[in-house]
Amino acid sequence: MVLALLVMALMVMLGIINTRIGLIDTARMAWIVLAVSSACLVGLVTLPRRLGGTIFFACIAAVLLVIPAYGLDHQRNMQHWAYIFPPLLVFLMRPGPSLVVMILYGIYMSWVTSLLLPMIDVVRFASGYGMTVCFMYTYALLQDRAATMLRYHSEHDALSNCLNRRTFNEAVDQLAAPSRRHERCEFLLIDIDHFKAINDQHGHRVGDRMITQVAAELGRMLDPDAPLFRYGGEEFAVMLVDAPEGAGNVLAERLRAAIERGDFQGVKVTISIGVALWRASGGKIESALQKADDALYAAKRAGRNRVVESGANRA
């Protein structure tokens, strides 16, 4: 919105200045851009932010495509508008596609310029525009990688590399959304047995290593459609969405056995798992999570290193 207001203010200045010095055709172009920017500003105010922003940048890009043809029609060179195009594309497209469009636009603008100016001016424009494209493409790549890293670290736990609790909560919210398409989900809550004793006997650094190693071992046993979440502390969670009946208990037993026979460098590690089923027609997800938690504590009370299903699962 701020950018739209700045563009509008700039177009007012250009329109007034070009009118006063007698460049009526250039002034007309400024007023056209002002009208487009004003319409886009209304869209930014009334539409969802992402949609409004996309429409704004797309409209400005369309204007920049028309400007060279408009200048050619009036025998007036407007190559200076071309330098706006590369940074504009950074807001609209991923780096790869934007580079292709930048190059095509540069060829188009160079061709139009060659019809109005001597070849030396075309070479100068192409050189400057090419440098602009190089810098903007590099900037777009860096921004894309930074965004990817930021997204990864916002979704993953730094110690275990599992998806974090916030991501788990979002997945649960999506499962419970009115537009959901899933009918059932089995929740597995997993806890490392005697973890406090591991910390007390071997130190917290070894405890952290156990969390990392257990997470890695669990992750190796899971399919891509069953992500592993760090639920909190030494506790993990798995969501089996629309899996076959009984798949949660089978998977839980496989995970338990894998940790029991795993090599944890001299430290004895086992896990307890609580399993509960949620059906779309059978109540709130929070109730299923509570049942999984109750089943986990039942496994602890029964001696640990075991899987316990919620009573609702067996019914």
Give the pLDDT confidence score for residue 315 in this predicted structure: 37
Decide if 260 is catalytic: no
Give the pLDDT confidence score for residue 222 in this predicted structure: 92
Give the pLDDT confidence score for residue 18 in this predicted structure: 87
Which helix (H) or strand (E) segment is 304 a member of?
none
Give the pLDDT confidence score for residue 312 in this predicted structure: 47
Nearest Cα residue to 299 out of 271, 277, 262: 271
Give the pLDDT confidence score for residue 150 in this predicted structure: 93
Give the pLDDT confidence score for residue 106 in this predicted structure: 94
Q: Catalytic one among 234, 235, 253, 309?
A: 234
C-alpha–C-alpha distance, residues 122 and 272, integer Å = 72
Nearest Cα residue to 250 out of 236, 268, 238, 262: 238
Instruction: Please name each of the domains of the chain with its CATH number.
Output: 2-155 (no CATH), 165-314 (3.30.70.270)
Give the pLDDT confidence score for residue 195 in this predicted structure: 94
Kindly report the pTM of this predicted structure. 0.71
Give the pLDDT confidence score for residue 192 in this predicted structure: 96
Give the pLDDT confidence score for residue 156 in this predicted structure: 94
Contacts of 67 (CB under 8 A, 6+ apart): 29, 78, 81
Structure tokens at 93: 């497209």
Contacts of 308 (CB under 8 A, 6+ apart): 272, 273, 274, 275, 295, 296, 298, 299, 302
Give the pLDDT confidence score for residue 266 in this predicted structure: 85
Residue spans of the chain under pLDDT 50? 312-315
Render pLDDT for 58-78 as a digit per residue (tens, 0 to 9). 888 888 888 888 888 888 888
